[in-house]
Amino acid sequence: MNALIIACQMISDELNQAISRTGVDYPVIWTEARLHEHPDRLRASLQDEISRISNVRHIILAFGCCGNAMLGLKAEGAPLIIPRVDDCISLLLGSQASYYRLSSELSTYYLTRGWLEYENGILSEFERNISRYGQTRANEISRVMLQHYSRLILIDTGAYSIDACREKVQILAEVLGINCEIASGSGQLLDRLLLGPWDENFSVIPSGGMVTREHLWAQKACVLKCAEKSTSCLCSLQQYRTKSG
Amino acid sequence: METVHKLYCEGTYFLSDLLIASEVFKRVHGMVQAQNQFFDANRPVDVVFGTVQRDIHDIGKSMAISIMQSVGLSVVDMGVDVSPQRFIEMIQQTGAPILCMTGLLTISYDYMKATIRLLEESGKRENTAVLIGGLVNDSVQSYVGSDYWVHDVQTACEICKAVLLQKSRKNVNIS
């Protein structure tokens, strides 16, 4: 077997799309989306999976830094390939630079269908809060939890229907009293994760090695400089309706 | 709050449950403080606490500050997205012997590091104990150059008490 992928359920739409697009036939082990809130548990779960894999040339980890969950992972049976991105938002936007640029414009909460739908996604938690605390208090909780965010961005990764998510995102935006915009995603980083070349945007940890901070924390000054030069492609939820409708 | 934290770590509680518990705690603490005739609003600041630049996560910080205040520490909450300059200005202004910084984004490490560098340049590093919290560990601590890293507020309180005692603020009533 050439390679094996371990990935977070949260980006399953996009990764499955990248697998179809690139034509790779690597199997995928999915980890629970909820683990991203508990980096130590995520690390333990990943190490457990890695330790039980043999007879592959590479193990591809489709994750961001995920609260340092990758830090300390040991490459046992095969080299590990890790994207040098802070979190999976960069993977969905196509680059760390795009993520920094959008985030530096306004404090932004990013969404995809995965973030809306999976257990412990923002919407699931909101619905749980309504049943546990009632509508009014659930609204208050959401506003306090996300009080410092100035906008929502739904990333149009092309891997799911924006129209199917529109209403849910609009409800959330209204509760929070902030705007929602749509940003074009890009699968280029995911494609390169699957196919290579694994350039400075990726770290390759050889067999017997361990993931260190140097493998993960990108050279921020360089990335920020690139981010300043890039341009955005944003539109509002209403504009998007006109475009698509 | 210890039980609430445990339930969250186990996955029984969600973030919103932490938030509710924190609000209840804050309100009760406010009531206790209002009844406490020994509470001195003009006492010197022990801790300057904020979420670093480019990061706006503050649920953990707010909870930590409430608990620190409840054990008698005098804490200034700097809010979120706090630049290194603002942290240093507050340290200089208040003379606080402890700086607590938190952040959940990976980029927050660079701003923790920049703040500590500026603290050194201002000549205040030697007299200021620096704690970091959030998604931190040994590796982050050695990268940013802090004195301590913590994952729980109880440990943070213990460290702050030890630092204050070491700095001879023994008259402070810390439970």
Task: Measure CB to CB from residue A217 to each of B20, B81, B106 and give the nearest one.
Answer: B106
Mean pLDDT for each 10-residue chunk of chain A (245 residues)? 90 96 96 84 94 94 90 93 92 92 92 83 85 92 90 95 91 91 95 93 93 75 48 58 46
3-state SS string for B116-132:
HHHHHHCCCHHHCEEEE
Domains in chain A: boundaries: 3-89+188-217, 96-184
* Distant-in-sequence, close-in-space partners of B91: CB < 8 Å, separation ≥ 6: B48, B99, B119, B122, B124, B128
DSSP structure class, residue A180: E
The predicted structure's pLDDT at residue A234: 64
pLDDT digits (tens, 9 = 90+) for B56-67: 998 889 889 989
- Kindly determine whether residue A145 and residue B19, on different chains, have CB atoms separated by under 8 Å: yes
Chain B residues whose beta carbon lies within 8 Å of the beta carbon of residue A149: 56
Q: Which residues of B87-123 are buried (b: 16+ CB within 10 A; e: fewer)?
A: bbebbeeeebbbbbbbbbbbbbbbbbbbbbebbeeee
- Residue of B56, B102, B143 to mutate when probing chain A, most A C-beta within 10 A: B56
φ/ψ of A60, rounded to 5, equals -95, 125
Q: Sort A51 into a burial class: Cβ within 10 Å, 0-12 / 13-18 / 19+.
A: exposed
| Sign of the C-alpha dihedral computed for residues A178, A148, A160 and A139 taken in this order | negative
What does the pLDDT read at residue A227? Answer: 47
pLDDT interval class at B23 (50, 70, 90): confident
pLDDT tens digits for range A146-191: 989 999 999 999 999 999 998 889 988 999 999 999 999 999 999 9
Q: How close does chain A come to B116, measured CA to CA in Å?
A: 17
- What is the pTM assigned to this prediction? 0.83
For residue A144, the chain B residues in CB contact (below 8 A) are 19, 23
